[in-house]
């Protein structure tokens, strides 16, 4: 019976969450203050801690840092549960050392699913929305008995702190944000001594990027996130089997993705080797179906034969991954970031394929490097793949889920059968493969049952024919956005939920 | 009066959490609804202040850092630039026709308010002239749906929400955006 420690100053919520967890058999202990929670954690060594952020006294971030600092408690997986649910809050929580982030209000099922996932993954992994799992970067993973704690950026870990030039003029004091370590949080009205040495300056007008009003370009953040995570994600991140205190994380015996067959990234590869089955349409709509308040979805068109993602979305990408072909196995991060093109009004970000067919494609390591860089800032990333070349295999090996799109004509089914066999030969975990039947034409050919028998696999989704599909493509508005209540969009959203776990 | 009270019985009760952004601060707190949607409370011109419970304050340029807290605080409504509601249902009247026309369409807009660039959509009847609506509606706060708010001087700081309530009195510029 896992032992869970809840730290929250809201008594009602404390009782509610406690009840939710106790109903599924967890043993729950509660603390109404951060200080008391830290003491209880050290004394009782819970299997998991669920911590609120907004608490009087020590904030949740402070509690997480203190738990990570103490070798006795450094191995406790932590979930942050807070009403502050903006992207910078999640980044702050993860950088402080939390393993998962949940925003209030939370349903019982969401909480239980996340608790179970974190208990299974252990302290060495972060569990994101959709239960996507990734290794914790080394700097917050307790190692060698000495937990490493990053120096907090004055502007918060998720935010780029521009470094002013040495001779930059000091802005007026009123322009300076409040300073000091986070533990100096004080009740409103209590005077705080200034700490000029730790103050930071907002960017001067010359430093501030000049972009059109309303532009959704977040490149500075992307660059920072990429530099933060690139080194951590590059090697397979296998968590330590034993924590510094000798505690074996709960679920250590469970086969973890990273330990079993390499690191998985929050990548969904949509593939079909036969043209005309609507794989690109499915990939685009799936990407939009995955978009939510907490998701910044990326869409990578890996087609070497003039991919159509940009065309379908009415985007005119100034750059594409074809420009990375000469850069070896580890293309330049900045160049990759410049290729990410935001789709205005939806927030989805696209990396386009070369507009002209290319005789060569990215190597497997290069494709995986690009995906690591993209997933550092976008989660999840949908890959549209139309061949089984080295780049696509690189993507497939890293993918959390592979969606194989087929149609109801015999040639598509035959091609799909061969593709599935090829995926197995490439070492792809077939448990991650989902076969989706799409109907790009109004006429029906083979029934779904026949297709399932032929492929010896169940169909994960049956996407209905939508006569307005061609209109949606012409307008550049995917059906998930243009006709959100239609049966096609509904099926895509169901597929998205399945893909997310 | 009696029928009005009964009519409001179905309105969500309890607390609604929101992010109240001024020019300099991010204030997180909970508002007790008392049977009145948050948007109606904000647009009630009889009260200049609104009570927040479990109030936590961050500098807007360092929005993840908690710099102060108070069990109960009062915010002056007309000094708020925008109010971010994580979920659409939070704080908004559920009945279509209030703040959004029947058979509504989404009109994409960019609104610069208190140094924040708010991009999202206004839900109005297709016949509504949106600029006229924004200029002349008597409500102080208008909801912008599926919105993001970006700090104009720190574009990497972005707030998202199911709805962002924009204070018309603080609008600096607004325009329609192609969908």
A154 neighbourhood in chain B, CB within 8 Å: 62
Q: Do A154 and B62 touch (CB under 8 A)?
A: yes
Query: Into how many domains does chain A fold?
Result: 2
Same domain flag for A24 and A116? yes
Distance from CA of B19 to the nearest CA of A (A): 8
Domain that holds residue A370: 264-499
In a domain, A162, yes or no: no
Q: Is A401 left (phi over 0), alpha (psi -120 to 50) or beta?
A: beta
**Euclidean distance between CA atoms A32 and A17, whole angstroms:** 13
Residues A322 and A252 reside in one and the same domain: no
pLDDT exceeds cutoff 50 at B125: yes
Inter-chain CB proximity A104 and B177 less than 8 Å: no
Examine residue A38 and state whether it is found in any structural domain, yes or no.
yes
- d(C-alpha A195, C-alpha A215), whole Å: 35
Q: Domain check: are A250 and A270 in the same one?
A: no
Domains of chain B by start residue, with CATH? 2-85 (2.30.30.100), 105-176 (2.30.30.100)
Distance, C-alpha A105 to centroid of its chain: 21
Q: What is the pLDDT of residue A245?
A: 41
* Cα distance between residue B145 and residue B148, in whole Å: 9
What is the reported pLDDT for A461? 86
Of the partner residues B62, B64, B158, the one whose CB lies closest to the CB of residue A218: B158
Q: Which of A201, A234, A258 is the last residue of a domain?
A: A258
Which of A242, A258, A274 lies at the terminal end of a domain, its last residue?
Answer: A258
CB contact under 8 A, B155 and A220: yes
Compute the nearest-CA separation of A296 from chain B (Å): 11
In this structure, is residue A168 part of a structural domain? Answer: no
Subunit contact B30:A83, Cβ cutoff 8 A: yes
CB < 8 Å from A in window 95-114 of B = 108, 110, 112
Interface of A with B in 337-356 (CB under 8 A): 344-345, 347
CB contact under 8 A, B153 and A187: no
Q: Residue B167 pLDDT > 90, yes or no?
A: yes
**Quick check: is A297 in a domain?**
yes
Do A88 and B148 lie within an 8 Å CB cutoff?
no
Q: Which of A201, A236, A258 is the last residue of a domain?
A: A258
Among A10, A54, A160, the residue with its CB nearest the CB of B28 is: A54
The CATH number for A102's domain is: 3.40.50.2300
pLDDT for the residue numbered A335 = 83
Q: What is the pLDDT of residues B137-152, one digit of tens each?
A: 888 999 998 899 999 9
Q: Give the pLDDT confidence of B52-83 residue by residue, as tens digits.
A: 999 999 999 999 999 989 999 999 999 999 99
Cα–Cα dist A91/A106, whole Å: 19
Residues in chain B: 179
User: In chain B, whose CA is at the least distance from the CA of A223?
Assistant: B156
**Pair A229, A295 in one domain:** no
Of B68, B112, B157, the CB nearest to A187: B68
From chain B, the residues in CB contact with A344 under 8 A are 177
Q: Looking at the domain assignment, is residue A92 inside a domain? A: yes
Local structure of A320: helix, strand or coil:
coil
Assess A195–B contact: CB distance below 8 Å, yes or no.
no
CB contact A314 to B (< 8 Å): no
One-character DSSP codes across A151-180: PPPTT-TTS------TTPPPPPGGGSPP-S
* Bridge-based pairing state of the strands A125-127 and A133-135: antiparallel
Contact B155 A209 (CB under 8 A): yes
Query: According to the model, what pLDDT value does residue A261 have?
Result: 46
One domain, residues A269 and A397: yes
User: Mind telling me how many Å the CA of A223 is from chain B's nearest CA?
Assistant: 11
**Is residue A472 located within the same domain as residue A411?**
yes
Query: Is the domain of A304 the same as that of A421?
Result: yes
Inter-chain touch B63–A347, beta carbons under 8 Å = no
A306 touches B: beta carbon within 8 Å: no
Would you write out chain A's pLDDT as a tens digit for each of its 501 residues?
889 999 998 888 888 999 999 999 999 999 999 999 999 999 999 999 999 999 888 899 999 999 999 888 888 999 999 988 898 998 899 889 999 999 887 888 889 989 988 888 888 777 876 666 666 765 544 433 333 333 333 223 333 333 333 333 334 333 333 333 444 555 565 554 444 433 333 443 333 444 444 444 443 333 444 444 444 444 443 343 333 343 433 333 333 333 344 577 889 999 998 888 888 999 988 888 887 655 688 999 998 887 788 888 888 787 888 888 888 888 888 888 888 888 876 778 889 888 888 888 888 888 988 998 888 888 889 999 988 888 999 899 889 899 999 998 888 898 899 899 888 888 888 888 999 999 888 887 888 888 888 888 888 888 988 888 888 888 888 888 888 888 888 888 888 888 876
Domain-located, residue A382: yes
| CA distances in angstroms from A139 to A118, A160, A388, listed in the order given | 19, 18, 36
Please tell me if residue A209 touches chain B, with a CB cutoff of 8 Å: yes
Beta-strand runs (E) in A87-137:
100-103, 125-127, 133-135
Read off the CATH number of the domain in which A429 is found.
3.40.50.300
Same domain flag for A393 and A296: yes
**Based on the domain organization, do A254 and A283 belong to the same domain?**
no
Mutate to test the interface with B, among A56, A178, A475, A480 (most CBs of B within 10 A): A178
Q: Tell me the ipTM for this assembly.
A: 0.83
Question: Do the domain assignments include residue A268?
Answer: yes
Residue ranges of A 346-405 with Cβ closer than 8 A to chain B: 347
Residue-wise burial string across B29-66, b where 16 or more C-beta atoms lie within 10 A, e elsewhere: bbbbbeebbbbbbbbeeeeeebebebbbbbbbbbbbbb
A233 and A347 assigned to the same domain: no
Question: Which residues lie across from A381 on neighbouring strands?
Answer: A267, A298
Looking at the structure, do residues A327 and A434 belong to the same domain, yes or no? yes
Q: What is the pLDDT of residue B11?
A: 42
Contacts of B119 (CB under 8 A, 6+ apart): A214, A216, A345, B108, B109, B110, B111, B147, B148, B150, B177
Question: Would an 8 Å CB–CB cutoff place A188 in contact with chain B?
Answer: yes
The answer to whether position A243 is within a domain reads yes
Q: Is residue A122 domain-shared with residue A270, that is, in the same domain? A: no
CA distance B148 to chain A (A): 9
Give the list of residues 6+ apart from residue A98 with CB closer than 8 angstroms, or none: A51, A64, A78, A79, A80, A126
């Amino acid at each position: 019976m896992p032992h869970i420690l809840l730290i929250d100053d809201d008594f009602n919520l404390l009782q509610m969450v406690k009840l939710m967890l106790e109903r599924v058999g967890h043993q729950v202990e509660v603390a109404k203050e951060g200080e008391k929670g830290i003491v209880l954690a050290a004394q009782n060594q819970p299997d998991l801690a669920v911590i609120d952020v907004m608490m009087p006294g020590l904030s949740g971030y402070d509690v997480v840092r203190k738990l990570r600092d103490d070798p006795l408690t450094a191995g406790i997986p932590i979930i942050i549960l807070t009403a502050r649910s903006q992207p910078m809050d999640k980044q702050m929580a993860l950088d402080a050392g939390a393993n998962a982030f949940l925003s209030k209000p939370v349903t019982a099922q969401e909480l239980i699913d996340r608790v179970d996932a974190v208990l299974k993954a252990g302290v060495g992994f972060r569990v994101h929305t959709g239960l996507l799992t990734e290794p914790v970067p080394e700097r917050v993973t307790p190692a060698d008995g000495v937990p490493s704690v990053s120096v907090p950026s004055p502007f918060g870990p998720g935010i780029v702190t521009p470094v002013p030039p040495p001779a930059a003029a000091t802005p007026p004091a009123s322009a300076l944000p409040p300073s000091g370590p986070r533990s100096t949080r004080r009740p409103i009205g209590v005077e705080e001594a200034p700490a000029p040495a730790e103050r930071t300056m907002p960017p001067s007008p010359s430093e501030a990027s000049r972009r059109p009003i309303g532009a959704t370009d977040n490149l500075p953040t992307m660059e920072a996130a990429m530099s933060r995570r690139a080194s951590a994600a590059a090697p397979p991140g296998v968590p330590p089997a034993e924590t510094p205190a000798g505690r074996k994380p709960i679920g250590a015996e469970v086969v973890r993705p990273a330990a079993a067959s390499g690191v998985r990234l929050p990548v969904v590869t949509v593939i079909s080797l036969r043209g005309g089955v609507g794989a690109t349409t499915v990939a685009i709509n799936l990407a939009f179906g995955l978009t939510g308040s907490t998701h910044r979805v990326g869409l990578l068109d890996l087609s070497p034969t003039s991919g159509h993602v940009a065309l379908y979305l009415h985007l005119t990408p100034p750059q594409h991954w074809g420009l990375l072909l000469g850069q070896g196995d580890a293309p330049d991060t900045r160049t990759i970031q410049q290729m990410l093109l935001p789709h205005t009004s939806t927030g989805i970000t696209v990396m386009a394929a070369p507009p002209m067919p290319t005789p060569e494609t990215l190597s497997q390591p290069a494709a995986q490097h690009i995906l690591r860089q993209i997933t550092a800032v976008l989660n999840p990333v949908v890959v549209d793949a139309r061949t089984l070349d080295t780049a696509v295999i690189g993507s497939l090996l890293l993918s959390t889920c592979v969606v194989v799109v087929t149609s109801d004509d015999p040639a598509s089914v035959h091609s799909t059968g061969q593709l599935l066999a090829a995926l197995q030969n490439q070492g792809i975990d077939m448990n991650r493969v989902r076969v989706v039947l799409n109907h790009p034409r109004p006429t029906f050919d083979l029934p779904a049952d026949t297709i399932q028998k032929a492929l010896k696999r169940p169909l994960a989704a049956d996407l209905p024919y939508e006569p307005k599909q061609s209109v949606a493509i012409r307008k550049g508005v995917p059906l998930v956005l243009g006709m959100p209540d239609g049966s096609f969009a509904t099926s895509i959203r169901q597929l998205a939920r399945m893909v997310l776990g | 009066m009696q029928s009005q009270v009964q009519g409001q019985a179905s309105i969500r009760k309890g607390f609604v959490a929101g992010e109240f952004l001024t020019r300099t601060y991010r204030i997180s707190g909970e508002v007790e609804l008392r049977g009145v949607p948050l948007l109606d409370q904000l647009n009630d011109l009889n009260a200049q202040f609104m009570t927040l419970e479990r109030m936590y304050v961050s500098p807007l340029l360092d929005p993840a850092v908690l710099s102060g807290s108070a069990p109960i605080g009062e915010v002056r409504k007309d000094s708020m630039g925008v109010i971010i509601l994580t979920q659409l249902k939070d704080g908004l009247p559920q009945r279509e026709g209030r703040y959004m026309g029947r058979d509504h369409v989404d009109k994409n807009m960019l609104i610069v308010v208190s140094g924040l660039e708010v991009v999202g959509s206004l839900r109005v009847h297709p016949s509504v002239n949106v600029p006229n609506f924004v200029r002349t509606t008597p409500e102080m706060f208008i909801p912008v749906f599926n919105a993001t708010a970006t700090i104009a001087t720190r574009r990497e700081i972005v707030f998202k929400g199911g709805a962002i309530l924009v204070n018309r009195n603080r609008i600096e510029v607004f325009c329609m955006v192609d969908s």
